[in-house]
Amino acid sequence: MIKEILGRILEGGMVDKKVVAREFGIQPETLEDIIRLLIDRGYLALEENGCEESASCASCESRRACQVMTEHRAFLVTERGERYARS
């Protein structure tokens, strides 16, 4: 399921963790645990500057890199994560 969630994040663009959790039939807290695991394994990275989804996201240069929004934190899929999700 971890690989499938990472693939969903990668292909789905910016998403809310509640949406992803609902799609996989898991609790948001479980998804948060999976996100932590993905960070620990180097598949996701926390955007240092943070981010907040808004109308300006459409013109943001980083919008393809932003993948998961959770409590105004943006997570980016790393190159390692992209290789893993596509393998």
Distance CA 39, CA 25 (A): 21
Global pTM exceeds 0.85? no
Domain boundaries, the chain: 2-86
Burial class of 59 by CB neighbour count within 10 A (0 to 12, 13 to 18, 19+): exposed
Fold classification of 2-86 (topology level): Arc Repressor Mutant, subunit A (1.10.10)
pLDDT on residue 59 = 56
Q: Give me the mean pLDDT over the 6-22 stretch.
A: 80
State the CB neighbour count (10 A cutoff) for residue 48.
7
For 21-70, write each residue's pLDDT tens digit.
999 999 989 998 998 999 999 998 876 555 555 555 555 555 554 545 44
Contact 81, 43 (CB under 8 A): yes
